[in-house]
Amino acid sequence: MKRAPDLSRAVSAVLYDKVKVMPRISSKHQVTLPVGALASAGFAAGDEVSIEAEGPDTIVVRRSRRDLKAAFGVFDGLYEPGYLDALRSGERG
């Protein structure tokens, strides 16, 4: 006796295919990016990215680049002028 195809399985497969090609923004403002698109762009799990809006209807994901020059001076103004020198002089004396 032949079994009829499981309709729910067929519908699930069709829906799964549609979900894979049409991501949606979740209620938590999250988006799952298609693996194929990530692979085509050369992205892999764990890559650091920056995300920027480039006008209406356009969000761009770019690989983050570490900019050491921008990192210098990030702590400027954290301590009062001369504080660290005074602290260091106590270590030597």
Query: Is the Cβ–Cβ distance between 59 and 52 less than 8 Å?
Result: yes
pLDDT digits (tens, 9 = 90+) for 14-67: 666 655 567 889 999 999 888 888 999 999 988 999 999 999 999 999 998 877
Give the integer Cα–Cα distance in Å for 80 and 91: 18
**Which run of H or E residues covers position 59?**
strand 59-63
Give the integer Cα–Cα distance in Å for 59 and 57: 7
**What confidence tier does 2 reach under pLDDT thresholds 50, 70, 90?**
low
The residue to which tokens 């890559």 are assigned? 47
53 strand-pairing partners:
59
